[in-house]
Amino acid sequence: MRGRGSLSNIHVVKHRGCESMIVNSPEYMKIRETLNGFAVFDACSESEMAELLRSSYTRKVPRGKHLYEAGENARDVYLLLDGGVKLCSEVPRQRPKVLQLVYPLELFGMFDVLTDSDRDLSAIAMSASEALVIDGEAFKTLLNNNARFAVSILRGWGTRFREFASWCFRFNHYGAREKVAAYLIEEFSVSGKTGNRAVVPTRRDIASLLGITPETLSRELSYFRKRGWVSVDQKGALRVSDTESLGVLLGA
């Protein structure tokens, strides 16, 4: 008989009412192949991945619906597989304030789980999205048992902290034009020369993220477009043409 973590050990359990991953099933193999492109899991053995995915399941969410809401008990870590998600602060009778945009192969909801906290933010799908929902206890067990995996998570956490510090600086010290330029340069660095992603945030979401009004965002984008620094395709995606000129605005 093979060990519990073996890929050939077919096992199904109910995870809080949802059917967990069947090891070696087509769904499992598809998810496993997807995770091969996510460096943080390179430190994990096949048996460790099998154990982690055994307590995981995939969840599809329509555009505008919540994956979780602020105030909920944080029991799961999420890995976005497809689509886009915005993490928002929600106040009654006000529009959600966008604080972070999440794209495929990004973990989110992790910090609340690691600190045994309730959700500080809500996660809302920007488009029809699919996420891998990983049981928080299984995730923490993997962290405790695999030092290389823990270091990879800490490195990612450090990168996210630096990004947050940079965002705070921009929010407090940049004017609207500089904020938009910094956002466009950041998109360029992540998604290549076109500055294009499969999921396009709405102008309202981008404006909320940058702390400006949608009207101000439109005005600044028009300013950049007239100078040939950016363009907009038929799907409304921004395409960055001249990062050097945008960088001049930031003193780069």
Query: Taking the CA of residue 241 as centre, how many other CA atoms within 13 Å lie in the half-sphere pointing to its CB?
Result: 11
In terms of Cα–Cα distance, which of 126, 132, 124, 110 is closest to 34?
132
Residue 13 has pLDDT above 60, yes or no: no
Domain of 182: which CATH number?
Answer: 1.10.10.10
Residue 73 belongs to a domain: yes
CB 136 within 8 A of CB 74: yes
Same domain? For 141 and 182 the reply is: no
Average confidence (pLDDT) over 26-41:
82
Same domain? For 189 and 125 the reply is: no
pLDDT tens digit sequence for 107-118: 999 999 999 999
Same domain? For 182 and 83 the reply is: no
Residue 43 belongs to a domain: yes
Residue 144 has pLDDT above 60, yes or no: yes
Same domain? For 53 and 142 the reply is: yes
Q: What percent of the chain has pLDDT over 90?
A: 48
Distance CA 46, CA 6 (A): 8
The count of structural domains within the chain is 2
Domain of 153: which CATH number?
Answer: 2.60.120.10
3-state secondary structure of 20: coil
Q: What share of the chain is helix, strand, coil (3-state, %, to 5)?
A: 45, 20, 35
Task: Report which residue type is found at 2.
Answer: R
Provide the strand spans (E) within 119-245: 122-125, 129-135, 230-232, 238-240
- Bridge partners of 15? 18
At 79, the pLDDT band (50, 70, 90 cuts) reads very high
Same domain? For 150 and 179 the reply is: no
Distance CA 235, CA 237 (A): 6
Same domain? For 119 and 201 the reply is: no
In terms of Cα–Cα distance, which of 119, 44, 45, 35 is closest to 76?
119
Average model confidence (pLDDT) for the chain?
Answer: 84
Same domain? For 60 and 128 the reply is: yes
Degrees (nearest 5) of the Cα angle 82, 86, 201? 75
- Domain extent, residue 214, equals 175-249
Residue predicted with more confidence, 91 or 175: 175
Residue 240 belongs to a domain: yes
